[in-house]
């Protein structure tokens, strides 16, 4: 009877674990102001249910022999391992690690939840907290209650928790970057670039992209607790060393491991968006006015992107943005050289447009 109780100690807890995080998804979808409190309470409830499972079987261990008690303690530590593995599997399922045919059945419900950037970031936040503190806390409770420990398993769980959180962070940036890239693709493909007229302002899609990026920035800043710090030292938008910038752009890896911070997430997102824009432009044919429209759009986007990333990343984005204009110039129709608008004119248009632009 005691052994059966020990073996099933975490069964109900595992069901509650999935229920907690399914409920959290619904809360994140509503984008309520208390979402951080809900994330914190979900993490707390997760650890409490794990402690409760240990507490309920602790007293039973006193009525068995010392040898049997030793074996049952090992079973309970295996239960703790499975408890955290289920959560890591849930993160991985939401981050698209498994297709439906091979996804573990106990996390299938998490895999099928609708996409929500806030929820994905919530899983990242909880996974990192568990790695740094939560897993060790539950292991300490187990050690105090049971008189045993398993340091190797603890270290393994912490590594797996970080890996699961990293998978979710990378998936978040890839998914959101792809979504914004599709907006650009549609705007590029639906415009007749051969019938372009001399541009006077950036196209509407540029403002839409920036509003989406601004919203993403707010979510990441809030959930990760890493707010954007306004800079007073924004450098001049017009960059002169084009050749060096293009060389830098060619060395940039678009899809990389995303750091667990706001700047890493935003820089990763912007790289995907800018690189996609350059690829879409290469599929079109332009007249000179069309190239000038691309020049104006890119100048506006590049200027605004500077507010979202650190100065160390600005030069890379400059080079990638110049790569878009170069790609457009290579796709010009006829014998025209694809003359660009003078830098000072572009800057004046961008500054005037920025003064009227609102997020």
| 292: Cβ contacts below 8 Å, ≥ 6 apart | 196, 198, 199, 339, 340, 341
Rounded CA separation 290/187 (Å): 13
Verify that 28 and 86 share a domain, yes or no: yes
Check whether residue 131 and residue 166 sit in a common domain. yes
> What residues form DSSP beta bridges with 286?
332
Of the listed ranges 150-154, 186-190, 264-268, the one predicted with least confidence: 150-154
pLDDT > 90 fraction of the chain, expressed in percent and rounded: 47
What is the overall mean pLDDT for the chain? 85
Answer left, alpha or beta for residue 284, where phi above 0 means left and psi between -120 and 50 means alpha: beta
Q: Summarize pLDDT for 34-51 with one digit per residue, the tens.
A: 899 999 999 998 888 888
- The span from the CA of 120 to the CA of 179, in Å, is 15
pLDDT in the model for residue 10: 75
246 band by pLDDT with thresholds 50, 70 and 90: low
Q: 226 and 337: one domain?
A: yes
Q: Answer yes or no: do 251 and 153 share one domain.
A: no
Would you tell me how many other CB atoms lie within 10 Å of the CB of residue 68? 14
Residue predicted with more confidence, 225 or 334: 225
Top pLDDT among 75 and 247 is at: 75
pLDDT of residue 154: 82
How far apart are alpha carbons 99 and 52 in whole angstroms? Answer: 33
Q: CA 174 to CA 197: how far, in whole Å?
A: 35
- Report which listed range, 22-31, 75-84, 160-169, is most confident: 160-169
* Better pLDDT: 92 or 150: 92
Give the global pTM: 0.89
Give the pair of three-digit tokens for residue 127.
Answer: 């996974």
Decide if pLDDT at 249 tops 70. Answer: no
More confident call, 350 vs 2: 350
In which residue are the tokens 């457009």 written? 328
Claim to verify: residue 17 and residue 166 sit in the same structural domain: yes
- Annotate 266-289 with DSSP letters as a single string: HHHHHHHHHHHHHHHHTTS-B-HH
If one counts every other C-beta atom within 10 angstroms of the C-beta of residue 40, the result is 15
DSSP state of 339: P
54 pLDDT band, cuts 50/70/90, is: confident
Q: Which of 94-98, 217-221, 297-301, 347-351 comes out lowest in average pLDDT?
A: 94-98
pLDDT at 238: 46
Residue 69 domain flag: yes
Q: Give tens-digit pLDDT for 66-123.
A: 777 777 777 778 888 888 899 999 999 999 887 666 788 888 899 999 999 999 999 9
Average pLDDT estimate for 184-196 = 89
Q: Let me know whether 11 and 145 are in one domain.
A: yes
- Check pLDDT > 80 for residue 336: no
Query: For residue 326, is it within any domain?
Result: yes
CA distances from 41 to 27, 49, 200, 306, 314 (A): 12, 12, 51, 36, 38
Domain count within the chain: 2
In this structure, the answer to whether residues 18 and 146 fall within a common structural domain is yes
Contacts of 15 (CB under 8 A, 6+ apart): none
Asked if 208 and 340 sit in the same domain, the reply is yes
pLDDT at position 226 over 80: yes
pLDDT single digits (tens) 253-288: 888 899 999 999 999 999 999 999 999 999 999 999
69 & 108 share domain: yes
257-281 b/e (C-beta count within 10 Å ≥ 16 → b):
ebebebbbbbbbbbbbbbbbbbbbb
Confidence of residue 23 (pLDDT cuts 50, 70, 90): very high
Q: Looking at 125, 140, 170, which one is the last position of a domain? A: 170
Do 202 and 148 reside in the same domain of the chain?
Answer: no
CA distance 123 to 106: 17
pLDDT at position 334? 67
* 3-state SS assignment for residue 332: strand
Instruction: Give the chain's largest Cα–Cα span.
Output: 93
Tokens (6 digits) for 273? 């968006």
Triad 335, 339, 345: Cα angle to 5°: 160
- Look at 229 and 14; give whichever has higher pLDDT: 14
36 lies in some domain? yes
Residues 6+ apart with CB under 8 A from 297: 202, 203, 205, 206
In a domain, 180, yes or no: no
Query: Is 179 inside a domain boundary?
Result: no
Q: Is 102 helix (H, G, I), strand (E, B) or coil?
A: coil
Domain span holding position 201: 191-356
Lookup: tokens for 110:
């998490």
Specify whether 51 is located in the same domain as 166: yes
- Residue 182 falls within a domain, yes or no? no
């Amino acid at each position: 009877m005691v052994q059966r109780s020990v073996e099933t100690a975490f069964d109900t807890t595992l069901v509650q674990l999935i229920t907690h995080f399914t409920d959290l998804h619904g809360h994140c979808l509503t984008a309520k102001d208390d979402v951080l409190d809900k994330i914190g309470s979900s993490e707390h409830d997760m650890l409490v249910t794990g402690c409760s499972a240990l507490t309920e079987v602790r007293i039973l261990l006193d009525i068995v022999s010392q040898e049997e008690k030793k074996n049952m303690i090992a079973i309970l530590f295996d239960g703790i391992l499975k408890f955290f593995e289920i959560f890591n599997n849930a993160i991985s399922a939401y981050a698209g690690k498994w297709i439906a045919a091979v996804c573990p059945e106990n996390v299938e419900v998490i895999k099928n939840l609708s996409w929500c950037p806030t929820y994905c970031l919530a899983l990242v936040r909880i996974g990192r907290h568990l790695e740094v503190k939560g897993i060790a806390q539950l292991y300490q409770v187990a050690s105090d209650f049971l008189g045993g420990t398993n340091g190797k398993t603890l270290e393994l769980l912490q590594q797996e928790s970080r890996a699961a959180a990293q998978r979710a962070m990378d998936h978040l940036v890839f998914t959101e970057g792809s979504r914004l890239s599709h907006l650009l693709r549609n705007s590029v493909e639906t415009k007749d670039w051969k019938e372009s007229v001399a541009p006077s302002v950036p196209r509407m899609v540029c403002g839409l992209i920036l509003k989406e990026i601004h919203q993403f920035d707010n979510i990441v800043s809030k959930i990760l607790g890493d707010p954007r710090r306004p800079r007073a030292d924004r450098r001049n938008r017009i960059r002169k060393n084009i050749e060096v910038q293009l060389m830098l752009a060619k060395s940039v890896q678009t899809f990389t491991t995303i750091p667990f911070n706001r700047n890493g997430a935003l820089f990763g997102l912007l790289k995907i968006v800018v690189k996609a824009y350059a690829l879409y432009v290469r599929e079109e044919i332009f007249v000179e006015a069309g190239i000038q429209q691309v020049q104006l759009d890119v100048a506006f986007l590049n200027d605004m992107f500077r507010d979202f990333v650190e100065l160390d990343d600005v030069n890379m984005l400059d080079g990638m943005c110049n790569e878009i204009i170069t790609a457009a110039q290579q796709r010009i129709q006829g014998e025209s050289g694809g003359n660009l608008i003078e830098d000072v004119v572009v800057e004046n248009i961008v500054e005037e447009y920025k003064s009227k632009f609102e997020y």
